Amino acid sequence: MDNLISNSNLINEQLARYGVKFGIYKNGVFNERLFPYDPIPRVISASDWEYLKTGLVQRVTALNMFLADIYSKKQIVADGVVPEDFVFSSSGYLAQVEGLEPPHSVYSHISGIDLVQAKDGDWFILEDNLRIPSGASYPLIARSLERKCSPQTFVDNHVVDNRSYGTMLKDVMDDMNCGGINVVFTPGRYNAAYFEHAYLAEQTGSVLCQPEDLFVENNVVYCKTLNGKERVGAIYRRISDEYLDPLSFLPESLIGIPGVMSAYRAGNVALLNAPGNGAADDKGIYYFVPKMISYYLGQDAILKNAPTYLPFYEEDRKYVLDNLEKLVIKDVAEAGGYGVVFGRDLDSGKLDEMKQLVKSQPRRWIAQEVIDFKDLEIMDEGRKVERKADLRAFVLTGKTCQVWASGLTRFSRNPASFVVNSSQGGGFKDTWILDK
């Protein structure tokens, strides 16, 4: 590990040379910056990983069953497990995909599940990201550079090889493919995660396509090539639902594929992830995931949610209003660390404002107990310091559901902050899963 620490500047220089950056829009201006790498890995034991892996497969399986249900029979709503108003008022719910069953009934092919480990060792799920979760490329390329600097490190420490991600993702695309080539669909280089789009296209042997490269004829998607047009069978799309097809969603979208939803509905192309997944990763729906696991699988949830309150319910609302100063409040429609408010950081005036918002828009918010999650060591100007860190685990679902033996560990560079998101200035480190 000392070799990695001594070579961390070199690795960061290589990451910059490869264009491993994260783009941020702020005040209407796009800025690219290096996604800072830290050389001290997060280490997860083989036994801890087996526990996490089992719980993650259980959770994503139930979430896929929930999506299949609410876009067809809606049995979970009819049985009163999840309130009807809660499901269909979600900004992520899309009436346009009602009754549309994707290949093999899989909705979330690439799930990014965010976890934290409390100081007592317990793991908690913070969020389920089922739309277009990003981040797998960063530990992949970091590990490849680490291995060049110090190959013996990984032999001596019995670290599970993480190079399988590209193969796993390709297998999922092949499983879903409706006949044709696989493509990774990017809106272009000004997207925050453009580096990842290009990198994963290379890793999976897919064609990297921008909006002008794809078109639809007779409900079939084609890619423009030097040799004419080639049929597309699976699209790993890295573009939000609302921009995907101007004929079905936002008509002003210039970065979508006109008619792609008709091709999808006709069964001629697979979309990974499926449109409409936002109905399951709404932060309010998160509250109900343990109930989904019990309802669909007849099992207790292996991985715990953070203790969560829904102001939508009167009893929870009263608790939140009485205890706001010690809770964290989240806007259910926000992502990337935005819309997160720690009650302890608010003065009396701001607390009153927040209480009024919770009272007037109870569906908009969830509240959670603040988990004092584990600090991990990072290098800061040549010395070791501790900072808050989370883990994004990647669960890939094709004909089978598998967890990638790695993950994106993000950390806060601010010693006072619990927010670790890349868009909020955090960095990342490699995640070592130890072999048995």
pLDDT at res. 136: 95
294 lies in a domain? Answer: no
CA distance linking residue 322 with residue 326, whole number of Å: 10
Residue 72 tokens read as 């067809």
My answer on whether 393 and 350 are in the same domain is no
298 lies in a domain? Answer: no
Residue with tokens 């008022």: 89
List, for residues 273-291, the tens digit of each pLDDT value. Answer: 999 999 998 889 999 999 9
My answer on whether 423 and 344 are in the same domain is no
25 lies in a domain? Answer: yes
My answer on whether 62 and 138 are in the same domain is yes
Predicted TM-score of the model (pTM): 0.93
My answer on whether 107 and 169 are in the same domain is yes
CA distance linking residue 126 with residue 186, whole number of Å: 27
∠ Cα 186 405 303 (to 5°): 100
170 lies in a domain? Answer: yes
My answer on whether 392 and 340 are in the same domain is no
pLDDT at res. 16: 77
My answer on whether 142 and 239 are in the same domain is yes
Q: Give 142-195 as a 3 state SS string.
A: HHHHHHHHCHHHHHHCCECCCCCHHHHHHHHHHHHCCCCEEEEECCCCCCCCHH
CA distance linking residue 292 with residue 8, whole number of Å: 43
pLDDT at res. 332: 85
How many distinct structural domains can be found in the chain? 2
Strand pairing report for 110-117 and 383-397:
antiparallel
My answer on whether 279 and 161 are in the same domain is yes
My answer on whether 221 and 327 are in the same domain is no
pLDDT at res. 288: 96
Per DSSP, the three-state class of 23 is strand
364 lies in a domain? Answer: yes
My answer on whether 163 and 207 are in the same domain is yes
My answer on whether 116 and 195 are in the same domain is yes
pLDDT at res. 425: 61
Tell me the CA distances in angstroms from 134 to 22, 59, 105, 334, 354, one per residue in order.
11, 19, 23, 16, 31
CATH number, domain of 317, equals 3.30.1490.270
The last residue of a domain, from among 331, 351, 369: 369
Contact criterion met (CB below 8 Å) for 405 and 52? no
Residue 98: strand pairing partners: none
The last residue of a domain, from among 346, 369, 392: 369
267 lies in a domain? Answer: yes
pLDDT lower than 50: segments of the chain = none
My answer on whether 171 and 218 are in the same domain is yes
The total of other beta-carbon atoms located within 10 Å of residue 217's CB is 11
My answer on whether 57 and 205 are in the same domain is yes
∠ Cα 186 189 192 (to 5°): 85
Q: How far is CA 15 from the centre of its chain?
A: 22
Four-CA torsion 69, 75, 77, 80, nearest 10 degrees = -140
CA distance linking residue 206 with residue 186, whole number of Å: 12
296 lies in a domain? Answer: no
Long-range CB contacts (< 8 A, 24+ apart) of 33-36? 35/138, 35/422, 35/427, 35/428, 36/12, 36/413, 36/427, 36/428
Print the domain residue range for 343: 307-369
The last residue of a domain, from among 354, 369, 384: 369
15 lies in a domain? Answer: yes
Please give the DSSP secondary-structure letter assigned to residue 370.
Answer: -
